[in-house]
Amino acid sequence: MNRAAETSQPAVSGAVALKFAGQTGEYFRIWIVNICLTVVTLGIYSAWAKVRRKRYFYGCTLLEGSAFEYTGNPVTILKGRLIVFAAFIAFSLLSEIHPAIQLVLFITFLGFLPWAILRALQFNARNSIHRNVRFGFNSTKREVGVLLLIPIFLVPLTLGLAYPYYLHRKRRFFLEHSTYGRTAFGFTASARDYYYAALKLSLAFVGFLIGSIATLGIGLIPLYVLLRAYAEATFADVAWRNTTLGDIRFACSWKAGELFVLYFVNALAVLVSVGLLVPWAAIRTARYKLERIVLQSEHGLGGFLAATQENVGAVGDEAGELLGFDFGL
Amino acid sequence: MRNVRALYFDGKSSEGHEVVIAGAVGADGRSALRVRGTGINLEWPLAGVRASDRVGSSRRYLYFPDGSQCETEDNDAVDGLFAEQGATAARLLHRWESGLGYAFAAVVITVAVGWAVIVWGIPALAKQVAFALPGATESLIGRDTLAALDRIVLTPSRLSPDRAEALRRLLAAMTAGIEGAAGYRLELRTGGRVGANAFALPAGIIIVTDELVALSKDDRELEAVLAHEIGHLRQRHVLRHILQDSATALLVAFTVGDLTSLTSLAAAAPTLVLQAKFSRDFEREADDFALDYLARRGIPPDLFAVILRRMEQRTATGKDGVDFLSTHPAIRERIERARGAR
């Protein structure tokens, strides 16, 4: 890790948790104005709404007294959305003409996929800033294809047995190409750690089956939510525990039971309130998840050096969102 | 104008420095900003400094020409520094987001416009799309739906070949006089769980169950039911239904959903009530077509009312207490309409 020569501020050492300062009432008003303008402009404003939402959540996420900053340009995101939308329409229309065209289109889509994923990751990373130092994502289309897409195709070929391997690959690919300033993230987990997590999860799955049958199907939905919460907490633990940034280590202490209650109450509240409690649910979810992520560092966060980077368009941003590539928060 | 306490970041490293930002007058007589802290003494012309838009009480950033920046939580003071810029779009937006009354107005506008889009916009669009879809797509959907129904609930018809042929000829005779109805075909099935029933699927497929045939006492009653189904087909109701349902769910999930899929779905659930309204509108349209057809052929519309009544009596679920939530208009209302049509 590169350290700045001088430190004019006392270095904070030890464990620091992220802090989330978002407030329900405030976010409710931002949220409803976002939706209102999106609806009135027939969806065009959605790109601005997204940026505003992200800026609020980033700006309320504090680490050692400094917030995160999101600088994505709405116009770039709108262009990206229009391109994805146009491609989707073209795909649906063209695939009606002849089944053979569908295959050609699918191969074309596969060809574009690494590019779209790469752009999405770069766009998201480079527009995320902390302490005036940008995050970055440096990779190539070829690497996306080899390191990320091939493991995806292994999953169905092995009847799902390769899924933990793919999860490991995905996280590793993401971290090992991500940077904060000039400092690279690292990942110390092995595929074996992921298989161990998956083993725990399959035991939980057996419990889910037995529980569903024992309650004559009544417990199916709650138990399924619990199972999902357990999977989320288990994999987040492995992922964060093995993430490094210079000499910084991370830990994530989400609990399956707490996530379950969180999600269950969220869904109930949103349903009963006809959607009006969505902001409340979003804020409490963010608070729970972010404040249980802890950074451990001996030297504090002051010494990271910035790198120089060019700008990246957002064409891939939307495509990437559909695929869910991010830090998983 | 108040001084702003902030953290200064030079953009070269993540090191933060506590500073105070104050408004000043530059050497050229124009407004400037002065940034002072331990070992830091900078001055920028105000015109060269950009402030990030205010989003709630989240952190605010001041961007300086050399790539350095300041971060602060004192949003009001930052607004004060840039007060001379007047009301920008970003400021109006923040003001809108600040008051509870404005938020209430936003809820009202959203519900009103959203309602209009879902009740008029999407159905109108779905209608356009349903009629513009290529025939190949329609027949694919029709074939798949029929295959699915055959797998799940329907079994082959046990009607005699003669009776089946007679019914097919009846439909052929009916469609001969109707424009665009040439390709419509009859599929006979044993209904089983769905009982005495008839459905119209995309691509001109009309399913009639043996139970319905047995229930009718006069082929003109069946003719009335077939006319109703032809009404559905001519208006492409099933396709429109599929399109409307998926478009509405997608739209709601997209606008509301910045959350996990489970919560987004919960938010989309209330639109199910609207879907039921669409179904009722479609049933009415098909009834109108049937009654019109019967009138032209000189068949008493009472016959339609009669078979509807008999279907209602047969199905245990034919209660008409929950009008708003039922997918079919309360059957009694439809019977009344049929009777009033003479």
Complex-level ipTM: 0.82
Q: Is the pLDDT of residue A199 over 90?
A: yes
Looking up tokens 């049937």 gives B290
Select from B28, B55, B85 the last residue of a domain: B85
* Same-domain pairing of B30 and B175: no
Residue A258: count other Cβ atoms within 10 Å of its Cβ: 14
Q: Point out the residue among A30, A268, A276 whose CB comes nearest to the CB of B97.
A: A30
Contact between residue A254 and residue A237 where contact means Cβ atoms under 8 Å apart: yes
More reliable by pLDDT, A26 or A215: A26
* Domain limits for position B282: 133-340
Q: Can you point out the beta strands (E) in chain B?
A: 4-9, 17-25, 31-37, 40-45, 50-51, 60-63, 69-72, 155-156, 185-190, 198-201, 205-209
Cβ contact (<8 Å) for B109 and A36? yes
Residues B28 and B173 grouped into a single domain: no
Least confident window among A265-274, B128-137, B144-153, B230-239: B128-137
Would you state the torsion angle of the CA atoms of residues B152, B224, B130, B272, taken in this order, to the nearest 10 degrees?
-60
Q: What is the pLDDT of residue A276?
A: 86
Residues of B in contact with A28 (CB under 8 A): 103
**B119 lies in some domain:** no
Across the strands, what pairs with B60? B72
Q: Rounded to an integer, what distance in angstroms lies between the CA atom of residue B114 and that of residue B93?
A: 21
Can you give the pLDDT at residue B246? Answer: 78
B194 and B256 share one domain? yes
Residues B330 and B238 in one domain: yes
Find the residue in B nearest to A37 (Cα): B110
The verdict on B65 and B158 lying in the same domain is no
Residue type, B133: L
pTM of the model: 0.77
Q: Which of B117, B263, B273, B274 to mutate to test the interface with A (most CBs of A within 10 A)?
A: B263
- Cα–Cα distance measured from residue B125 to residue B128, given in angstroms and rounded to the nearest whole number: 5
Check whether residue B65 and residue B174 sit in a common domain: no
Question: How many cross-chain Cβ pairs, A to B, lie less than 8 Å apart?
Answer: 180
Residues of A in contact with B11 (CB under 8 A): 132-133, 306
In a domain, B245, yes or no: yes
Is residue B186 domain-resident? yes
* B154 and B66 within one domain: no
Q: Region B133-150: what's the mean pLDDT?
A: 82
Residue B246 lies in a domain: yes
DSSP B46: G
Which of B85, B113, B144 is the last residue before a domain boundary? Answer: B85
Element spanning A295, H or E: strand A293-297
The dihedral built from the CA positions of residue B86, B88, B91 and B97, taken in this order, carries a sign that is positive
B261 shares contact with chain A (CB less than 8 Å)? no
In a domain, B16, yes or no: yes
pLDDT digits 0-9 by tens, A114-143: 888 888 888 888 889 999 998 988 888 888
Shared domain for B81 and B208, answered yes or no, is no
Contact A266 B255 (CB under 8 A): no
Same domain flag for B213 and B318: yes
Query: What tens digit of pLDDT does each residue of B292-328 get?
Result: 999 998 888 888 888 888 887 776 454 333 333 344 5
CA distance linking residue A4 with residue B333, whole number of Å: 80
Q: Tell me: the pLDDT tens digits for B87-121?
A: 678 888 888 888 888 889 999 998 898 888 888 88
Provide the domain count of chain B.
2
Give the angle subtended at the CA of A303 by the CAs of A297 and A307, to the nearest 5°: 120
- Based on the fold, state whether residues B182 and B37 are members of the same structural domain: no
Answer whether residue B125 is part of any domain: no
Burial B258-291 (b: 16+ CB within 10 A, else e): bbbebbbbbbbeebeebbbebbbebbebbbebbb
Rounded to 5 degrees, what are φ and ψ at A328? Answer: 75, 45
Examine residue B316 and state whether it is found in any structural domain, yes or no.
yes
Confidence of residue A317 (pLDDT cuts 50, 70, 90): low
Instruction: From chain B, pick out residues whose CB is under 8 angstroms from the CB of A58.
Output: 58
Judgement on whether residues B197 and B314 belong to the same structural domain of the protein: yes
Q: Answer with the residue of higher pLDDT: B63 or A77.
A: B63
Quick check: is B121 in a domain?
Answer: no
Dist CA B175 CA B167 (whole Å): 12
Residues B53 and B179 in one domain: no
Of B59, B85, B111, which residue constitutes the final position of a domain? B85
Angle at the Cα of A180 from the Cα atoms of A13 and A150, rounded to 5 degrees: 125
In this structure, the number of other CB atoms found within 10 A of the CB of residue B123 comes to 22
**How many Å apart are CA B161 and CA A313, to the nearest integer?**
66
Contact A227, A208 (CB under 8 A): yes
CB-based contact (8 Å) between B59 and chain A? yes
The residue-averaged pLDDT of B46-67 equals: 91
Q: Do B106 and A36 touch (CB under 8 A)?
A: yes
DSSP letter for B28, please. T
In this predicted structure, what is the pLDDT of residue A251? 93
Which of A28, A55, A271 is opposite residue B58, by nearest beta carbon? A55
pLDDT score of B17 more than 70: yes
Q: Output the six-digit token pair for A46.
A: 């959605």
Outline where chain A has alpha helix (H): 24-40, 46-59, 74-97, 99-126, 141-143, 150-157, 163-176, 191-214, 220-241, 256-272, 278-291, 315-323
